[in-house]
Every structure is written in C-alpha cells, then in structure tokens.
Amino acid sequence: MNVQGSRSVRGVAAAGLFALVAGGSVLAGTGVASAATVAGSAGAASCASGALPSVVDGSPSVVAGAPEGIYLWHTKGGYELRVTHPGTTKVVYTGTITVTNALAAVKRVKLERGDKVTVSNHRHTLHFRLTNFGRMDGINFAAECSKDVKVTVRINGTEATAGQVFLGSAKAGPSAVPFTVERGATTV
C-alpha cells in the first residue's frame, strides 16, 4: 500500500504512531492523506466497500475562531464538516462533496441566513456556500458506505490549500485540494 507525501499529521505520523495495515484505506485521489488506516476505524465492520482511513476518525475538537479552514471528520453518525477562522471578518467557504452512494441525513449546523446547502436530485452531490464571521458553521451528513467521498473547497473564491483542511481528531491534511476519502484502498 502506498501513501504519497503530504504535510505532517501535526507530528503524529512523523512520530510513527500510525500503522499501515494490509487491506486498509488511505485518502486517495487528487490529495492523499498523510496517514493510513488502522484496524477498527469508523465504519470498518459495517461497509462492504471497506474501512475508512483512520485519519478522518474522530472530532478535532474545533472551536470558533480556530485556524481558518475546513474541518472534516467521521463518527458513528457519519461525516461532520465545520468552517471557522480567527477574527470577525467575513470569509466565504464554498464547496462540493460528491459521494458514490447516496447522501443521507443532511443536517445544517449553526448556519445563518444566506448560507446555502443543496443536495442534487440524485443525492450524490452536496453543494455549500457558508458565510462565516469567525463563529462555527457546518454540515453533518451520511455517505451510506460510499467507496469515495470527493471534496472541493474554496475560501473567498480561491481554492483552499492543504494547510487549510483539517481531517479527523489529529487535524491531518491531504497533500492537495481537492481530495478524496477512499474506503478500502490498497494503493494510491
């Protein structure tokens, strides 16, 4: 299994605390995670398409005013996405999430008037436009054991950098944006 270069998992992967497991998953596609899956990651036993990469497991404990960016993680209830930034200036986050199976249980979290979240008729694509003033805006959704969850994000009209994407409890980042969370991958 290959895991291609990316920024550090905030020191955790560099310390060798993540193990690569045969048959596990990695973040794949345009961006690649900086850590591979370990046994027992979220959704491992319940999805025929394989386990999620451990890098997306667990809440990053993000709070309003945290470093600017998009925070994405997975729990037993599905995916959670949050955006925030320091200060109270206006920052607009736009993006698309595309899944191979249907989106379900889409819930808007702390959105203000003017924020938009739309799901396509076929329920495979979610578009968002979140205007943030330093508080917390977000979306929760289930991807129904999708093999791939592809994410694109722009901040104030410019494609986000890998340093503005924080995945899972370790706040790891992909090597590039857009990126794909891939279940059960054996190579990248």
Indicate if the pLDDT at residue 185 is higher than 90.
Answer: no
67-105, pLDDT tens digit by residue? 999 999 999 999 999 999 999 999 999 999 999 999 999
pTM: 0.77
- Which of left, alpha, beta for 184 (phi over 0: left; psi -120 to 50: alpha)? left
Residue 134's pLDDT band (boundaries 50, 70, 90)? very high
26-65, pLDDT tens digit by residue? 333 344 443 333 333 344 457 888 889 989 999 999 999 9
Tell me how far CA of residue 53 lies from CA of 1, 43, 185, in angstroms: 13, 10, 9
Mean pLDDT, the chain, whole residue set: 79
Task: Sketch out the chain's domains with CATH numbers.
Answer: 56-169 (2.60.40.1780)
